[in-house]
A and B are shown apart, each in its own frame.
Chain A
């Protein structure tokens, strides 16, 4: 008995050693002639529920950094600086994001932090960046109703994704809407905006339901959809993560499909998610994004080609990856324009900076958001999108104009006033 347990202990030790060694292998092999370094923080969930999505975003950021370094880094005061990423793991846990952000700013003295995915993680980091007057670059489409001096939003504001999508649905697909979302801040806020928008434009919300994150039982929602719109209608899906798979599998089984007159529009399903859910469940449903892998421009093809070369042939690019990739370039351009990596100078220089991103030429607006291209696509058999409508470049609106509480408010960080983040127009 004693012998076996000791052997077992030995086995466990050996296994643990092997795991550590495997984890430690690998390293960077960059070299070249640089006059100095500038540290930047990369703070995404590399473990936990969100790791699936956030890994890609972090990879896109690292790719942009590598590309910039390969071209000689950024030039400040005639000196070539190498960008050195400092990676931290937010672990899908919102307080951890705040903690790691503090560490990156105080201990590593990074010039800027690229990070976050869920709105919950951004809301957790916001007070840290405001208190330390530092700068966070956030790459994901979100619910708006926020305009911080210390955050730069490279994803879509609602008027660059949700609103044009709803307009398009109203014009082409029907007036009865059913809203389904995960139970947290983004879907609830996005649905509040949509309800107001539909009220203003002659649509009708016939039902609304929320699934807790990770829940996989959709039967009650399906029953409600069938009661509310037995003959078909529009379903807007703001579910996030695993619940999407359950949602689409069970909807298909229950006959709530495009073939039966249901138009389903999702705001969190990009190429990456389609591969995980299975294109056969999603074929014929819609999505609104600022970038699709199928976007037929030289910059887009180049981006996808490089991404696949770096991370594997089976990988796909998506809107969040593109937004993450371009924000690194926007930061580098702003730093060169400011001739400094100091976050306050970069913040001033950032407004008006342009970059030829994979989606097209994007420009930073005074409200710390980006003017972005709005696209509506339909999922095809191969898991890619067919672009149905290109609404061109749309200027971002941070404070929503449909919601009565924020109607008439705007945000402009070029204004020299204490309430530049939110003031009456």
Chain B
């Protein structure tokens, strides 16, 4: 019985990380059909936000407030990743709707840009970038209007961006001479995010030892799920999102602003990735490569769960969590110590973390052979491509 509780808790703990990480992707991929390879990097932005918030709390605010920094980091990470996602949607993904392959490649490129951005961003770099972008936006405002109605206007636009870009480069390299501006903010090294003390210990409930960080993540997952579910089912915009998902053309005809709906969906999905980024700082390393560690698992969960259904995502994540725990920890041997020799050998063989992962992947492949659309396939009319 103890073992059952233990397994359930640990399975839940592993599963809840997967749910949280995959939730944003389930929204974006499930509702919009966008394969967002930069999802992991949006998580990374959330984790870096946590790092910045932590340092501000350490440096500026009184020590007594430090334990709650993580609660401040959560909404901020949502905003930062959400805005990054919004920018991504407005500039790249909007142009590629209905072209999954191009979206995949473009977002993968964006993920590389984001990784390199956190590696190399320094004050000089940031100031140069901001100056270039702001100047580029302002140029049309401060030049005669007629310039912008000519046949050669596109050339002028490109030219002005090149000029402002060069201005940015010059500013960045001039500032870069100064040591103060040249220091990278984060560098390519992993950074140290320290959980507050109340999240470092563990609580014994009955026979099960529950690490506080795990409990926090489980609670966070439940809250996030409830909020997302409420938003999609009850709020006006949520209903619009679902309407667009089911039939875009008809929704458009009925006056739903589909472009805004797309942007909002993407913002929420990206924001959720940011929240997941905060959560994973409690468990693992924070560095430019953080996203890559989670992206495959996220897609696995969403595909197994069935595109378009949150319930599927939750069930799939918990299933994978419990299965990988049971196999990886070898607890089957404890339940049935007298099992036949051959079976015993097989289970022992798979009872390491890396072999458990192989087995879980294999089982998912087999499952998808039987039910290609996942646990909860979308019923009725298909989402248009």
B357 and A212 form a contact (CB under 8 A)? yes
* Contact present for A14 and B165 (CB under 8 Å): yes
B18, closest chain A residue (CB) = A217
Which 5 pairs between the two chains have the least Cβ-Cβ distance?
Answer: A14-B165, A10-B161, A245-B285, A220-B328, A10-B158
- A281 — which chain B residues lie within 8 A by C-beta? 194
B172 within 8 A of A: yes
Interface centre among A18, A275, A278 (most CB of B within 10 A): A18
Q: Chain B contacts of A18 at CB under 8 A?
A: 128, 132, 165-166, 168-169, 172
Instruction: Indicate with 1 or 0, residue by residue over A94-136, a CB within 8 angstroms of chain B CB atoms.
Output: 0000000000000000000000000000000000000000000
Considering only residues 124-162 of chain B, those with a C-beta below 8 Å from chain A are: 125, 128, 132-133, 136, 153-154, 157-162
Whether A210 contacts B354 by the Cβ 8 Å rule is yes
Tell me the nearest residue of chain B to A274, going by C-beta: B192
Distance A320 CA – B160 CA, assembled complex (angstroms): 49
- Interface flags, B12-33, vs A, CB<8A=1, else 0: 0110010000000000000000
Q: A219 near B284 (CB under 8 angstroms)?
A: no
For the complex, what is the distance from the CA of A245 to the CA of B191, rounded to whole Å?
A: 10
Contact in complex: A254, B283 (CB < 8 Å):
no
Q: How far is the CB of A131 from chain B (nearest CB, A)?
A: 33
Taking CB atoms, residues of chain B closer than 8 Å to A10 are 157-162, 165
A183, A223, A276: which contacts B190 (Cβ < 8 A)? A276
In angstroms, Cα B280 to Cα A214, docked, is: 14
Chain A residue at minimum C-beta to C-beta distance from B163? A14
Pick from A49-57, A336-344, A386-394, A415-423 the stretch touching chain B: A49-57
Cα A314 to Cα B34 with chains together (Å): 42
Is B233 interfacial (CB-CB < 8 Å)? no
Complex CA–CA separation, A49 to B188 (angstroms): 10
Given A22-B169, A254-B202, A6:B352 Cβ within 8 A = no
Other-chain contact of B287, A13, A52, A210, A278 (Cβ < 8 Å) = A52
Chain B residue with the shortest CB-CB distance to A9: B158
A215 touching B357 in the complex, CB below 8 Å, given contacts A18-B169, A224-B329 = yes
Contacts of B356 in A (CB 8 A): 220
- Chain A residues, Cβ within 8 Å of B282: 249, 253
* B268-311 interface (Cβ within 8 A of A): 280, 282-287, 289, 292-293
Q: Are A217 and B354 in contact (CB under 8 A)?
A: no
Could you tell me the dominant secondary structure of chain A's interface residues? helix
Is the CB–CB distance between A242 and B190 below 8 Å?
yes
A-B contact pairs, 15 of them (CB 8 A): A7-B161, A13-B162, A14-B162, A14-B166, A18-B168, A22-B120, A209-B353, A216-B293, A219-B329, A220-B329, A220-B356, A226-B209, A242-B293, A250-B211, A254-B202
With A25-B176, A212-B357 in contact, is A242–B287 under 8 Å at CB?
Answer: yes
**CB < 8 Å: which of B14, B202, B211, B285 contacts A242?**
B285
Residues of A contacting B285 in the complex (Cβ-Cβ under 8 angstroms): 216, 242-246, 276-277
Is there an interface contact between B14 and A219, defined as CB atoms closer than 8 Å? Answer: yes
Q: A18-B168, A220-B325 are in contact. Are A209 and B352 (CB under 8 A)?
A: yes
- A91 close to chain B: CB less than 8 A: no
Is A299 interfacial (CB 8 A cutoff)?
no
- Interface status of A252 (Cβ within 8 A of chain B): yes
Chain B residues with CB under 8 Å of chain A are: 6, 10, 13-14, 17, 91, 95, 120, 125, 128, 132-133, 136, 153-154, 157-162, 164-166, 168-169, 172-173, 176, 188-195, 199-202, 209, 211-214, 280, 282-287, 289, 292-293, 324-325, 328-331, 334, 352-354, 356-357
Q: A18-B165, A253-B201, A276-B287 are in contact. List 4 more A-B contacts (CB 8 A).
A: A18-B169, A22-B173, A209-B353, A217-B324
Q: Chain B nearest CB: distance from A9 CB in Å? A: 6
Q: Which residues, 277 to 293 on A, are CB-close (under 8 Å) to B?
A: 277-278, 280-281
A29: interface (CB < 8 Å): no
Q: How far is the CA of A243 from the CA of B284 in the complex (A)?
A: 7
Of B154, B289, B329, the residue contacting A214 (CB under 8 A) is B289
Contacts of B133 in A (CB 8 A): 11
- Write the nearest CB–CB distance from A256 to chain B, whole angstroms: 10
Q: Is there contact, CB below 8 Å, between B161 and A224? A: no
Closest to A17 in B: B165
A309 within 8 A of B: no
* Residue A15 interfacial (CB < 8 Å): yes
Closest beta carbon of chain A to B286's beta carbon, Å:
8
Which residues from B are CB-within-8-Å of A226? Answer: 209
Is A246 within 8 A of B165, CB to CB?
Answer: no
**Size band of the interface chain A makes with B:** 35 or more
Please name all residues of chain B whose beta carbon is closer than 8 Å to the beta carbon of A255 when the two chains form the complex: 201-202, 209, 211
CB closest residue in chain A, given B173: A25
Q: Is A5 an interface residue (CB 8 A)?
A: yes
| In the complex, A231 has a CB within 8 A of chain B | no
Contact across chains for A220 and B192 when beta carbons are under 8 A apart: no
A253 to B215, CA, bound (A): 11
Residues of A within 8 A of B328 (CB): 220-221
Whether A246 pairs with B161 at a CB distance below 8 angstroms is no
A211–B353 touching, CB < 8 Å: yes
Q: How far is the CB of A5 from chain B (nearest CB, A)?
A: 7
Nearest A residue (CB) for B216: A253
Contacts of B125 in A (CB 8 A): 22
Nearest opposing residue in chain A for B92, CB measure: A8
Q: Say yes or no: is A21 at the interface (Cβ < 8 Å to chain B).
A: yes
Task: Write out, one digit per residue, whether chain A residues 1-35 have a CB within 8 A of any chain B CB (1) or not (0).
Answer: 01101111111011101100110010000000000
A278 CA / B190 CA spacing, docked (Å): 10
Complex partner residue of A15 from B95, B153, B165, B190, CB under 8 angstroms? B165
Most buried by B among A217, A243, A245: A217
In the bound complex, do residue A254 and residue B154 qualify as a contact, i.e. CB atoms below 8 Å apart?
no
Which of B200, B284, B293, B353 is close to A221, meaning CB atoms less than 8 Å apart?
B353
Are A3 and B202 touching (Cβ within 8 A)? no
Query: Using Cβ atoms and an 8 Å threshold, which residues of chain B touch A223?
Result: 6, 10, 325, 329, 331
Give the residue name and chain of the A residue nearest to B13 (CB): A219
Most buried by B among A7, A8, A55, A281: A7
Query: In whole angstroms, how far apart are the Cα atoms of A252 and B287 in the complex?
Result: 20
Q: B199's closest neighbor in chain A, by CB?
A: A253
A14 touching B329 by the CB < 8 A rule? no
User: Which interface residue of A2, A242, A280, A281 has the most chain B CB atoms within 10 A?
Assistant: A242
A210 — which chain B residues lie within 8 A by C-beta? 352-354
How many angstroms between the C-alpha atoms of A254 and B215 in the bound complex? 12
Docked Cα-Cα span, A276 to B187, in Å, equals 12
A52 touches B188 (CB 8 A): yes
* B329 near A253: Cβ-Cβ < 8 Å: no
Give the chain B neighbours of A51 by CB distance below 8 A. 188
Residues of chain B with a CB closer than 8 A to A3's CB: 153-154, 157
A337 to chain B minimum Cβ distance, whole angstroms, is 38
Q: Which residues of B contact A227 (CB under 8 A)?
A: 329, 334
**Is B283's CB under 8 angstroms from A11's CB?**
no
- Min distance, Cβ A357 to any Cβ of chain B, angstroms: 25
